[in-house]
Amino acid sequence: MKKIKVSHKGRICKHPACKIFLSIYNHECYCYLHQDKLIIQDSIRGAAHLAKV
Ligand SMILES: [Zn+2]
């Protein structure tokens, strides 16, 4: 029998204004909408860090 790794049922996106339930196959803390925003924020932060050096 194969075991598929899944996360807990009934998790909600951690964004304060978001009530989207996450899929058990989504192991992130945010829904797909807010994952994109986090990635953009990270790249801006990374670029600022590079500019500073
Ligand atoms: Zn969300």
Residue 17 is given by DSSP the state T
Q: Indicate the pLDDT class of residue 39, thresholds 50, 70 and 90.
A: low
In this prediction, residues 31-35 reach a mean pLDDT of 89
Q: What confidence score (pLDDT) does residue 52 get? A: 61
Q: What confidence score (pLDDT) does residue 49 get? A: 66
In this prediction, residues 42-53 reach a mean pLDDT of 69
Return the structure tokens found at 30: 């945010």
Distance 51 CA to ligand 1 centre (A): 30
* pLDDT surpasses 80 at 51: no
Q: What confidence score (pLDDT) does residue 10 get? A: 85
Residue 20 to residues 25, 34, 40, 49: CA-CA distances in angstroms? 14, 10, 20, 32
- What residues have their beta carbon closer than 5 A to ion ligand 1? 13, 15, 18, 20, 31, 34
- Taken in order 24, 34, 21, 29, is the CA torsion positive or negative? positive
Q: What confidence score (pLDDT) does residue 40 get? A: 63
